[in-house]
Amino acid sequence: MTEYSERLLDKPVRKESPSALRFGWLIVIPLLAVLSQVYVPRFLSFLSYLELPLLITVYFALNRRSPVQAVFYGMSIGLVQDSLSNQPIGMFGIVKTLVGYFAASVSMRFDVENPVVTFILSFFFYFFHQFFYWVLARALLGEALSFDAQQTLVFGLLNAAVALPLFRVLDKLKVAA
């Protein structure tokens, strides 16, 4: 194990986040994320690959480092997404619940302020989100969806690339705890 990896695993183990978002931002930001997902692709169709609600869930989970809060936060965002879709409510809720939980769990083991870690986690959770949603759709709804792994990987990279500046912007909104 190298010195860098040891630092990644050992140093950032913290119980409390030094700063947190205001409560209002916790409501407005996911709402804007969902809104952008349903509104922006109308005019900029090439941005339809962006999964901003997922990135917001990951960001919140990594920053709060509380699996319980992340579970409810992810579930809420997912349910809102389900409400604006034409599928049964709970599909995105379950997936984002899991993403929030695992992201919060991982955040206690890694230095989530490191851009590389943030990039990798964002990419991983995007792939996990898409894959698990495909599994749920086939298992629970019996839908014959296809899963394009290559496209999902590319979109995962793009979402991870977007996550880096997005997380920096959201960090600016944090206030000292």
CB atoms within 10 A of CB 27: 12
Angle at 107 between CA 102 and CA 110, to 5 degrees: 125
CB of 39 to other proteins, least distance (A): 6
* Closer residue to other proteins, CB minimum distance, 80 or 160: 80
Least Cα distance to 97 among 53, 137, 134, 140 occurs for: 53
* Closer residue to other proteins, CB minimum distance, 63 or 97: 97
Q: Are strands 19-20 and 175-176 parallel, antiparallel or unpaired?
A: antiparallel
Q: What is the DSSP letter of 46?
A: G
In contact, 52 and 33? CB cutoff 8 Å: yes
CB of 59 to other proteins, least distance (A): 19
Amino acid at 48: S
* Closer residue to other proteins, CB minimum distance, 143 or 171: 143
* Closer residue to other proteins, CB minimum distance, 25 or 119: 25
CB of 5 to other proteins, least distance (A): 25
CB of 50 to other proteins, least distance (A): 16
How far apart, in whole angstroms, are the C-alpha atoms of residue 78 and residue 156? 18
* Closer residue to other proteins, CB minimum distance, 100 or 156: 100
How far apart, in whole angstroms, are the C-alpha atoms of residue 51 and residue 84? 14
CB of 63 to other proteins, least distance (A): 17
* Binding region for other proteins (CB under 8 A): 31, 34-35, 38-39, 43, 67-68, 71-72, 75, 79-80, 82-84, 88-91, 93-94, 97-98, 101, 105, 140-141
